[in-house]
Amino acid sequence: MLHNDWILDVLADLKSFALANDLGALAEQLQDTTLIAAAEIASHAKEAQAQDHASQRQSGSDTGGIGRHRHA
């Protein structure tokens, strides 16, 4: 689990509270907010993964992938 995934749990709890207290518009807004939060978290994770991969290539620690052989 990513370190930012906790916010999705908080939003789910808030949505449950809104539904239980007849706050339908708020529940809908929280659902939209959850989708946005999930998309942003996924985007940041992909960016971090791409940066990590790029730094591995720059440092020479990239293996080139499974089954690939590098020749000098």
Structure confidence by residue, pLDDT tens digits, 37-59: 999 999 988 887 777 777 777 76
The stretches of the chain forming alpha helices (DSSP H) are 6-20, 24-59
pLDDT band at 11 (very low <50, low <70, confident <90, very high): very high
Mean pLDDT in residue range 6-34: 98
**pTM, two decimal places:** 0.64
* Residues 45/71, Cβ–Cβ less than 8 Å: no
Phi, psi (degrees; rounded to nearest 5) at 64: 85, 5
Buried b (16+ CB within 10 A) or exposed e, 19-48: eeeeeeeebeebeeebeebeeebeeeeeee
Question: Where do we find the tokens 């706050």?
Answer: 23
- In this structure, what token pair is assigned to residue 27? 């529940």
